[in-house]
Amino acid sequence: MTSSPSPVPSKGVSANGDPLRVVFCWSEINGYMAACFRELAGRADVDPFFIALASGRSSGTEAAFADDVVAGLPCRLLEPEQLDDEALVRELVAERRPDVVVLNGWRYRAYRRLPYGEPLRTEEHGGPPGFMMTFDTPWQGTLRQRIARFRLTDYLNRCAITVVTGERSWQYGVRLGIPQARLRRGMYGVDHAGLSECLQRREESEWPRRFLFAGRYADVKGLDVLAEAYARYRDGVARDGAGEPWALECCGTGPRGDLIAGREGIEDRGFVQPADMRDRFAAAGALVLPSRFDPWPLVLVESAAAGLPILCTEACGSSVELLRPHYNGLAVPPDDAPALARGLRFLHDRHAELPEYGRRSNGLAAAYSTSIWADRYTAYLREAHAGSPPRR
Give the CA distances from residue 46 to residues 88, 133, 226, in Å, rounded to whole numbers and listed in that order: 24, 17, 44
Q: Which pLDDT tens digits describe the chain residue by residue (392 residues)?
A: 444 333 333 334 555 568 999 999 999 998 889 999 999 999 999 999 999 998 765 544 445 555 578 888 999 999 999 999 999 999 999 999 999 999 999 999 999 999 998 888 766 666 789 999 999 999 999 999 999 989 999 999 999 999 999 999 999 999 999 999 999 999 999 999 999 999 999 999 999 999 999 999 999 999 999 999 999 999 999 999 999 999 999 999 999 999 999 999 999 999 998 889 999 999 999 999 999 999 999 999 999 999 999 999 999 999 999 999 999 999 999 999 999 999 999 999 999 999 999 999 999 999 999 999 999 999 999 999 997 544 43
Domains located in the chain, CATH noted:
20-189+369-386 (3.40.50.2000), 192-368 (3.40.50.2000)
pLDDT of residue 258: 93
* 222 Cβ contact partners less than 8 Å away, ≥ 6 residues apart: 290, 291, 292, 313, 334, 335
Judge contact between 58 and 28, C-beta under 8 A.
Answer: yes
Q: What is the 3-state secondary structure (H, E, C) of 101-166?
A: EEEECCCCHHHHCCCCCCCCCCHHHCCCCEEEEEECCCCCCCHHHHHHHHHCHHHHHCCCEEEECC
At 250, phi and psi to the nearest 5? Answer: -115, 130
pLDDT of residue 166: 96
Question: For the whole model, what pTM was predicted?
Answer: 0.89
pLDDT of residue 60: 47
pLDDT of residue 31: 85
Give the number of residues written for the chain: 392
